[in-house]
Chains A and B, each alone.
Chain A
Amino acid sequence: MSAVEHEVAIIGAGPAGLGAASNAAHHKTSHVLIERKELGNTIFDYQLGKLVMAEPAKLPLRAHIPFEQGSREEILEGWTQAITSLGANVRKAEVKAIERIEGGFKISCSDGEVTAKNVVLAIGVQGTPRKLGVPGEDLPHVTYTLSDPAAFVGKDVLVVGAGDAAIENALALCEKNTVSLLNRGAEFPRAKEANGAKIMEAIRAGKIRHFINSEMSRVEAETVHIETAEGEVALKCNHIIARLGGILPRGFLEKCGIEFSSKDPTAVPVVNGRYESSVPGLFVLGALIGYPLIKHAINQGYEVIEHILGNEVEPADQVLIAEKLKDIEGDPKKVLADIRSQLPLFKELSDAQFRELVIDSTIHQLDAGSVVFERNDYTDTFFSIVSGQVAVELSEERKIPIDVGNFFGEMGLLSGRRRVARVRVTKQALLLESPRKQLLKLINSVPSLKRALDEVFMLRALETQVFPEADADFLRELIKNAKMKNFKKGEVLFREGDVGDVLYVIRKGSVKISRRNRRGADVTQTYVPAGRIVGEMALLSEADAPRSATVTAAVGCETIILTKSAFQHLLDENPRVRQRVNELVRARQVENVVSETAETTGQLLDFMMAEGVTDADNILLIDSDLCIGCDNCEKACESTHRGFSRLDRKGGKSLANIQIPISCRHCENPLCMLDCPPDALTRLPDGEVIIRDSCIGCGNCVRNCPYGVIQLVHDHPDHGGFSLLSLLGLSKKDAEEGPAKAAKCDQCEDLKGGPACVRACPTGAAMRVNPRQLLEITSRKGR
């Protein structure tokens, strides 16, 4: 008998912790559930009455606590009842440290110590908000959430922060309370435009006192001390709400001895198939290891207890695996193992990661001759070859075979651009098609996967797009010395006059090229999209040569950097590459001599880049020479989209004869798609970015869109078309029901005649264009 008190200590009573504690209680295993705040903390902090979704719908729930879609209150009540009736041992305390001791762990809590053989860490990331960092930050009237604005009446509240959460809280409270807002800067650059406007209005109207360029120095029971530019202010205050964002408690986890997959800030702790971290006996669950969904977390809690008790437990997703593999003969478990053994790229994935990958992927059994995807398709999935062979058809003569165990489709995966070549099956093949999002998640957590993909990315980018004439083996040597470098929007790759020493291959994004005109003003000349090179001119001579133009990232860019010597070596060894580069250089030299680019063209290019036109795949533009301002485009959009217009004509920007309304750009690299928990945002094969019905209304896309085109709205019934009632303004709007969902332009995918906004324009001012052609025209005509 060991000297420890419990078999297992569970830290954190969110979904994962409750899943674990309920199962431990069910098995009558000696356990303790330690929580510093409330049971079900994750959703306890939600706003009152919020509807909680039970995604993913198909995954069975495996737990001794109930969980179905319902209101915050219903779910909390169900959990509390289950935990009480099972007799789970709950201890309300804050964990200070976890140390290894003989036979287990010692957990130092705010109210004493606990020892246990195993520890399950399920503290999530929401519980670790960024704190104020001043004396008094832990006083009871300092909170990091606001669940019920209605509970505050007549109080003196200080909201800290300048993001959307802070603004929304301040606005929600300012009608019935005396609200002050503490801002480190003077403005709200991180906030959504609408929020920024609302808060400025409230501040102007005197509803909110705004402390600018200020920091808090200390918090006391009734007062808070603020350092402003004019000196210290003591503000009467009986509640402080700090909205400074949440952080993954990496420091705490590392102090416990847990290893992370990489130094990347998005990296998560490494765990094995039993959720055991690099510290034996210390298990990590839920959001900490990258599973933000409640149902996943509950299931993991259940499973981890079975693992600790030494019970064989089939993962909850086994039904989904069996369903996925039902067309392949044999026992699903064996088939899964076979697939895994064929794919060395995924060797370092944990079992759970691999299973999730397979569940989210599609299995294709294809005969020789069938086409997997066509050149210029907009699909962005990633294919692995489990058996058979395919060929990448770059041209009629040039076909690159890819064999078992290898993969393809990775260019679409990272660059978000069209497929660069057709892929055809050459020997009957079994393919695993995986979604982009899933792969990106794995790349962030499995370093070997990232390394392997990076090399192949570089090789294939050079092979297919940039130097197709070059010998493949030669390029393979070349990339060993190549580097990858990312540039943020607006960052300069190099400046006119610098000494040129490297070549940049634009792998993703686009750059703008600008030169100084006679008066010394920097004038934009043109832009260069992904798949091209920049910086070659200064590299052709042996001697050091200056850059002839400044190159700036027009959007976020990924580049491959080749050194001058590697580039010259490439040219020496590949006469056809040399010939093409020479032609390119000559064309650019001619441009430079001929062009004294009109500043107006440059201004127009700059305007369009600032408005995200270079990002766009398809954009709504309005020709101001024709627009009569009737707003029929907005009315058409409203009528065809359930009573809510997804475009705002007046809200957009304009220059000369071009208006760019606030409307979806269908970006090449849609930031909205980055962080969508149910993967509802997706790109259709012809380039449209749409939001599917599985949207849970979390608002991530709204925050991620740089152009403010997505809004959360309630559905209204379809208008159908002309009606006398609507003409007279008498049609009644239905009551708002259910959660608000994300909405934006879908290019009227259901209307076969095309976007209603364009069709409803009486003068033909509204048009949809692919901006690449537009920009090429601008730069050509500008000379």
Chain B
Amino acid sequence: MNLNLVVAERVNNDTFFSYRGYRWLWANILLTLVLIVWYWLDEPLGVPNGGTFYGYTVGGIAAAGIAYLMWYGIRKRSYHSQTTTLKGTLAAHVWLGVALSIIVPLHAGFQFGWNIHTIAYVLMMIVVVSGIWGALYYATLASQVQSHRGGGTVKDIVQQIHIAEQNLSALVAQKSDHLMEVKRFVDQQLGGSEFKPRFWSMLLGHSAANFDPESLATLLAKLPDAESADGISLVQGADRKRELINRVQHEVKTLTKLKVWLYIHLPVSCALMVAVLIHIFVVFFYRG
């Protein structure tokens, strides 16, 4: 039995990519194809560039497209909207964004250089790529957020790690040095006895590997008979702690990835808007 069936059966399997049979993908493919064919048929005076009739027209379309993409930030917060769902708007946003990465070079006649015009294109591409990056994260990482699946929040797991550590410390208290040595070994493998939930170390840290079995066996063999059971409990407890540390790292990484791309996507899109305005001003008014 696949639990996904429970939900899948009832909700149509539309995602923000496939919304209504990929209607926005098809619309943007159509738009792009029409502009490509026109570009191919167009015979401007001189080389194709942004200043031809074709260039101005496609430039107007691209500018309107960018305005529409920027409007998503407003639409997302227009909670009273009754005409569209946010999912549908996001579908249009995603596919139009991808399409613009082709439409804009058509507008420029593939003329790039060290100038404000190309800066605008570069900024746009940063926004588009970061957007694709984010969309792929949305599509693939959502199901990995364990706290959404009854797995406990980051705070819960950190607390469990502390409890696990307390249990381990209690286990070795007033026991032989040999047992303490096993404890020191596992602590060292886990990067210290106290787990400190530092954001960066959780984000960048590697998942803790299994304890080296040979070293463990050597250490366990030294234990007095009376403590051999304690030794096994200690290793089991440490392994549980290791598993918890990996879980919390995974959760923090997943949650961070779902947001981190926005720190590029949003500021650069604002910069893009400014660059586009300068680009338009330069083209029409600047007579330097």
Contacts and interface: CB of A to CB of B under 8 A. Distances in A.
Nearest to A782: B1
A655 B151 CA distance: 8
Interface stretch (A34-42, A531-539, A764-772): A764-772
Contact of A653 (B78, B138, B150): B150
A727 B77 contact: yes
B86 A753 contact: no
B85 interface: yes
B255 A632 contact: no
Nearest to A601: B1
A112 interface: no
Interface in A172-197: none
B2 to A, nearest CB: 8
Given A604-B6, A762-B16, A721 B78 contact: yes
Nearest to B11: A767
Interface residues of B, number: 38
B150 A654 contact: yes
B278 to A, nearest CB: 22
B5 A659 contact: no
Given A626-B15, A767-B10, 11 more contacts: A604-B3, A624-B149, A628-B138, A628-B145, A656-B150, A658-B7, A659-B148, A761-B87, A763-B16, A765-B142, A773-B10
Interface in B259-288: none
Interface in B144-191: 145, 147-150, 153
A657 B143 contact: yes
24 contacts: A601-B3, A622-B148, A623-B11, A624-B148, A624-B149, A625-B4, A625-B7, A639-B79, A640-B79, A653-B150, A656-B3, A657-B3, A657-B4, A752-B82, A759-B85, A760-B76, A762-B138, A763-B15, A764-B14, A769-B10, A773-B10, A774-B6, A781-B5, A782-B1
Nearest to B137: A628
A82 interface: no
Interface of B: 1, 3-7, 9-11, 14-16, 74-83, 85-87, 90, 138, 141-143, 145, 147-150, 153, 255, 258
A624 B74 CA distance: 26
A596 B83 CA distance: 47
Nearest to B89: A762
Interface string A615-634: 00000011111111100100
A751 interface: yes
A760 to B, nearest CB: 5
Contacts of A640: 79-80
Nearest to B7: A623
B73 to A, nearest CB: 9
Interface of A: 598, 600-601, 604, 621-629, 632, 635-636, 639-640, 650, 653-659, 719-722, 726-727, 751-753, 756, 758-765, 767, 769, 773-774, 777-778, 781-782
Q: Which 4 A-B pairs have the closest CB atoms?
A: A753-B82, A624-B148, A636-B79, A639-B79
Contact of A629 (B1, B16, B76, B258): B258
B81 A654 contact: no
A763 B150 contact: no
Nearest to B83: A753
Contacts of A753: 81-83
Contacts of A727: 77
Nearest to A649: B148
B187 to A, nearest CB: 28
A778 B6 contact: yes
A628 B147 CA distance: 11
Nearest to B82: A753
Nearest to B145: A629
Contacts of A600: 1, 3
Given A635-B79, A777-B6, A781-B9, A762 B149 contact: no
Contact of B149 (A601, A639, A654, A720): A654
A721 B73 CA distance: 12
A764 B16 contact: yes
B86 A632 contact: yes
Given A639-B80, A656-B3, A656-B150, A627 B10 contact: no
Contacts of B85: 758-759, 761, 764
B228 to A, nearest CB: 32
B82 A751 contact: yes
Contacts of B143: 624-626, 657
Contacts of B147: 650, 654
A778 B4 CA distance: 10
Nearest to A769: B10
